[in-house]
Amino acid sequence: MRPQANFLWRSLRATLTGINLLLALAMLGVYAIPWLDPRWFAPLALAGFLYYPLLTGLIISSVLWLVRKNHRFWISFVVIALGFQVHSVYWKWPWHSYLTPYTRALVQADFQKPPFDSQRNWKIISYNVGNFNNDNPQEETPKSISSSRDFFIKLLDVVQPDFVGLQDFISWEPSRPDVLRSLMLHPRLRGYTLLGQDAKRRPFLYSLDASLSAESRLIHLKFKDHVQEGSGHFRSWVGGMVMLTRWPVMNHGYQNLGERGHNTGMMWADILMARDTLRWLNVHLASNRISPPELSPVQALDLKSDSSQKTVKGILRKIASSARLRAEQSDQIRVFMEESPYPVLITGDFNDLPYSFAAKRIQSKLNDSFERRGKGNGNTYARGFPSFRIDHVMVDPRFPVLAHEVVRLCYSDHYPVVAVLGR
């Protein structure tokens, strides 16, 4: 029996070694993703989804070798160590990040004193509001449009942000409550200027109230062709991308990034901030456009039926196609950033994994607020997987990141991201 046992162990050891080497090589491939353009080979867009399974496999392999006191544990150990900069893109210690200041204030309805309240700090929100409609079928009581709107107003009330970058925003459309009028009427939310798009995707700038300083009135423009005289109402609904700021706006615009007819693209504004001028980009990259019913067989691990396999293949094709488009969009954004005469701030929904070709190309020389001050896995997509950290705040390194928080309260298919920067 002993020779047979030795033979079985040698066979098992050879198999485990082969699996370990394959895991190690695959992980090295994941590390190289930012330099692998999905326009060359579309399946590269799927490699980032392997990060967590590969990391888990490497850890298990390492533990098994250590139990056997075998030097092969170094295979996994070295490969994991080589990716120390990659791991911080996906997750940060400490792991749990739910009891955080802004989330706690919202849960406890304590709006008295915003955290990090200092004249030396400025606060940013990036939030895909999902058209103020959380129709998540997994929720026992899906949030109404009004409750999603009210949560957004409470979020502004608690954070008191200087910059708010919104995606999938809609207001003044017959089927939805008037979000902007609610903002105007709230006594503690005065002084914001709205940069938005009308139904034809034309950018405009509009002061939400008359409490602005004399200096701001000279710079903030009110485009009357979008407003019915004497009524204060926009002629058409406001949708797509919206930016809110308390600071004077020197210049602004919108650039379509190749998706006609969709609520994506890039809005930008040059902001005058005391002694600094900042170019702020609010971006929304191409979505994979995968519906919740399509995700159901994947989340349930039901992949045996022909219909489920067909659905999964369709999902993979959508991911690959949209990754190619996001690569094109990232090129356009990168050129626009490099032409900026001012430091850059970026908010937005990238619709891509945090360690992807498009995300790292846009990040370029900027600091990602999560990588600096984040906690846990940082995922911002409320219906996805742990790696879905697709909403970002990125900023020029001259502005230190003091805090980063994902507000995990589900009133959209995304969670709001809050970052605090120093000056």
Its pTM stands at: 0.86
Q: Please give the average per-residue pLDDT across 249-256, as a whole number.
A: 92
Residue 223 — pLDDT band, cuts 50, 70, 90?
very low
- What was the pLDDT predicted at 418? 96
Q: What pLDDT score does 99 carry?
A: 58
Tell me the mean pLDDT in the region 261-271: 89
Which CATH entry fits the domain spanning 101-422: 3.40.50.150, 3.30.465.10, 3.50.50.60, 3.60.10.10?
3.60.10.10
When pLDDT is averaged across residues 236-242 and rounded to a whole number, the result is 73
Position 253 scores a pLDDT of: 92
Q: What integer pLDDT is reported at residue 133 of this predicted model?
A: 75
User: Which whole number is the average pLDDT over 10-28?
Assistant: 92
Sheet-wide strand order for 344-349: 249-255, 265-273, 276-284, 344-349, 391-395, 367-368
Q: Please, which pLDDT band fits residue 221 given cuts at 50, 70 and 90?
A: very low
Q: Helices (H), strands (E): how many in the chain?
A: 12, 13
Three-class DSSP category at 199: coil
pLDDT at 318: 81
User: What ranges do the domains of the chain cover?
Assistant: 2-82, 101-422
* pLDDT at 13 exceeding the cut of 70: yes
Higher pLDDT, 366 or 174: 366
d(Cα 128, Cα 165) in Å, to the nearest integer? 8
The answer to whether the beta carbons of residues 283 and 266 sit under 8 Å apart is yes
Q: Examine the pLDDT at 212 and tell me if it is beyond 60.
A: no
If pLDDT is split at 50, 70 and 90, which confidence band does 117 have?
Answer: confident
Mean pLDDT over each residue of the chain, to the nearest integer: 82
Spell out the SS3 assignment of 265-299: EEEEEEEEECCEEEEEEEEECCCCCCCHHHHHHHH
* Overall average pLDDT of the 197-202 stretch: 75
pLDDT over threshold 50, residue 219: no
Q: In this structure, how many other beta carbons lie within 10 angstroms of the beta carbon of residue 74?
A: 12
Q: Most confidently modeled of 48-62, 291-305, 381-395?
A: 48-62
Residues 6+ apart with CB under 8 A from 61: 16, 19, 20, 23, 73, 75, 76
327 or 223, higher pLDDT: 327
Predicted confidence at residue 141, as pLDDT, reads 54
170 or 163, higher pLDDT:
163
Instruction: Name the percent of the chain in helix, strand, coil, to the closest 5.
Output: 40, 20, 40
